[in-house]
Structure 1
């Protein structure tokens, strides 16, 4: 009868083969001590398939059963039989969900064990009911069994089971969600564009390498003294980097261009392999002249980048709006990236004169400066669209910079820009200005009027500011003279793959700085009815 009590020979009860928990219970030793002293005081609930005489635990009890079997094998006759509660067989899906719910309630089950449990539940439910469960259907079925996983969590489980099994036991939920799945899924999309039907041929050797390295550490720890043992963990950032390198080798592309290819595929799913091959990493003029390839696009890692090599030869200047240095020979033009709204918006032909690093940014910005990574990304954006005439390094500003009003919207120094490129340049300027903090009166006054057109015109009042702003950017301002950014300009920023990628990286770096250095920021933007005067 369902929920009846019984006494069974210990040999008639076996572990459940689909138990989601595959690793040892972290409380195994404590439970063993308790059972040795008092026996199994909480009876195990068991069930069995109609065509089997063997029982197995239902919804927990595997650890208690394993301990009882161990003690019985060592000669403890108290465990010749065990008292159990017998449940009628409900089907594998229900048994799996009962084990999963029990382990989830105790909170001692790993990401990988949950992923395998959900996969087993889905497979069993589909076989028993003759249906195919979508992600939403699976979430609702699990919820009806008392297990509440969100859609994205379920998707991460499925991704891990399908693609990451060699390193499954060492996966962490946050790393799968924020690093591994986005980085690997993007690489898969790029590989598909290049005709690779299965990404496993590229990823499996990398995953096996990481598995073997972790297993080697585990073996070493078993033999080493406690103080010499190494931490057993997966470096997710390094893993994604190695996967991107493996992809680069498979498609014959430089490793540093892979993040830009991923960004391009994400923004345009119809982009072709030939169009992806046309994407190039921008080079600084200094590195091009010296014959050294120095990519300026940020790596996929979230770690801080240094400015070494980027600010070499840059000296302070009291005239930030003047062109920096004599004109140099223009670099080879970057091939356009097709497949977006307009190829005219997908490249900005910036000459070496215009691409020089801002003369107002001093050389002494070291990698220890909390704003160094952000300044590096701002300079990378400048390399793409040409903003060297209006980036000011201001140590007192939250992110270490502000944007000055350019002398003209369609000129960088002595170089004229066609209208589409001037629009992209203006859009990038407005975006950088909007996130710098300079719209807050508490911050824009950190720059002296003798150094900045922005400050000088703002202090002169709304009318003067409007004239200077519209003259330099052809932009829109509100009735009070506040600058405004059009929706189409936001689109321009993210429509150009390289610019969009760098902008996303900049926002991430800014948020990290907010978390690491809250003292650099005011609580709220102050409201001033007379702003900007």
Structure 2
């Protein structure tokens, strides 16, 4: 009988077999599964602990024992329940948490230790998916362990497709495309942003980072000589490692800006040239930035001779026939303050410091509207309201890379304030 079929029988039980054996075992006789895919705290830990404290362990996990081991181990999930029992026993010294009747599944004689560990890991992955799930990075590392265990057990899975088919036969269906993203996450992202990944970085952000890396590498290959192409892995790691913190701070567009800065410094190509290559075609833009309406955050100033002049559109969205074409600065200023009804106070003027004139305004609908107006005035040379941070950003002492990092810091601080405001609203 082939190993994979034996694994399946052990996972599901043999049809027609008698009721599963029950054994009474103390906590000291049980060891957690060493390859448990969950490495972070189960989000349902507290609720499950409350239930076990009140009712006892209604659904004890299945135990098994490797040949030659003195201790039992969990066969297919249950590490959270085992941890809770140990915690409750230390807190209460109540014997009902210490000695429990457990279902027992003997280790099949026909399975090698590696084949048995394979079965256990599949069981733990499947069980975790049913109860509160796993983070994407935890599942990805579990798949990597399975791939290695298959190899050690003598089960050939030479391609991602072969691995997907083997996992499906063994009761844990995963597509080839999912496996590809998981392996890329472990190889490309985990070394750079482990804190963000284990902090709960979402699948959507992970997919966008992987897409960004793939397309950026193709740009690097296109624009650099063959001997310099291996440098891409290092520059991507350098750019991404900047974001190894809270998951909310991993903003794909900011990662893109940081990556383009690294690529520009090392290749000698301009930021705008790299950006144009990166966003070439609607398909690539969709893959990297999501919906087409999404904008690039904080791009550097356009290079001379490469400025696109948009048509003037008032707040209603209809172009003014025969009207002057404003500069990007005017368009950006109008867009920024349109929500406060201040866009009508801005008129193009190439002779002004910011490329526009700002009409006087003494009546503001909201304090934030007044602050927005003051920023526009400061950009246009009005120094009546002290704004040292704005003066720093406009100074030639800071290059584009430093400015991008400054805006990244501002973005992270803003996200922190938003989270605190959201928490206060529910407190």
TM-score (norm 2): 0.56
> Which residue in the other structure is 2:202 paired with?
172
Q: How far did 1:139 drift?
A: 1.0
| Aligned pairs (5 A) from 1:300-311 | 301=289, 303-304=294-295
| Aligned pairs (5 A) from 1:348-359 | none
Q: How far did 1:67 drift?
A: 0.3
Distance 1:255 1:91, change over 3 A: farther
Residues 157 and 163 of structure 2 are in contact (CA less than 8 Å); yes or no, is this contact kept in structure 1? Answer: no
Q: Deviations over 1:202-243 (max 9, x none)?
A: 1333333211x32xxxxxxxxxxxxxxxx8453233223322
| Aligned pairs (5 A) from 1:451-466 | none
Please give the secondary structure, in 1, of the residue aligned with 2:153.
helix
Q: How far did 1:254 drift?
A: 1.8
Q: How far did 1:370 drift?
A: 10
How far apart are the structure 2 equivalents of 1:188 and 1:161? Answer: 18
Q: Deviations over 1:182-205 (max 9, x none)?
A: 110122334455424254421333
Residues 239 and 259 of structure 2 are in contact (CA less than 8 Å); yes or no, is this contact kept in structure 1? Answer: yes
Decide which structure has the larger Cα Rg and report it: 1
Number of matched pairs? 278
| Aligned pairs (5 A) from 1:467-486 | none
Please give the secondary structure, in 1, of the residue aligned with 2:83.
helix
Where is the helix percentage greater, Structure 1 or Structure 2? Answer: 2
> Which residue in the other structure is 2:88 paired with?
71
Are 1:99 and 2:121 an aligned pair?
no
> Which residue in the other structure is 2:148 paired with?
123
> Which residue in the other structure is 1:84 paired with?
102
Distance 1:71 1:255, change over 3 A: same
Residues 122 and 133 of structure 1 are in contact (CA less than 8 Å); yes or no, is this contact kept in structure 2? Answer: no
Are 1:143 and 2:161 an aligned pair?
no
Distance 1:171 1:356, change over 3 A: closer
Structure 1 unpaired stretches of 5+: 215-230, 268-296, 311-330, 332-351, 372-533
How far apart are the structure 2 equivalents of 1:65 and 1:262? Answer: 49
> Which residue in the other structure is 1:186 paired with?
215
How far apart are the structure 2 equivalents of 1:88 and 1:190? Answer: 55
Are 1:258 and 2:288 an aligned pair?
no
How far apart are the structure 1 equivalents of 2:119 and 2:58? Answer: 25
Q: Deviations over 1:234-287 (max 9, x none)?
A: 32332233223222222222222224445789x9xxxxxxxxxxxxxxxxxxxx
> Which residue in the other structure is 1:160 paired with?
185
How far apart are the structure 1 equivalents of 2:295 and 2:49? Answer: 48
Distance 1:244 1:33, change over 3 A: same
How far apart are the structure 2 equivalents of 1:240 and 1:93? Answer: 39
Distance 1:362 1:198, change over 3 A: closer
Are 1:364 and 2:313 an aligned pair?
yes
Q: Deviations over 1:86-132 (max 9, x none)?
A: 22335222111111111223352221111111111111111111524
Are 1:53 and 2:70 an aligned pair?
yes
Distance 1:133 1:88, change over 3 A: farther
| Aligned pairs (5 A) from 1:245-394 | 245-262=261-278, 301=289, 303-304=294-295, 362-364=311-313, 369=317
Structure 2 unpaired stretches of 5+: 1-9, 14-19, 108-114, 320-427
> Which residue in the other structure is 2:387 paired with?
none
TM-score (norm 1): 0.46
Distance 1:184 1:39, change over 3 A: same
Please give the secondary structure, in 2, of the residue aligned with 1:7.
strand
How far apart are the structure 2 equivalents of 1:191 and 1:239? Answer: 16
Residues 139 and 148 of structure 1 are in contact (CA less than 8 Å); yes or no, is this contact kept in structure 2? Answer: yes
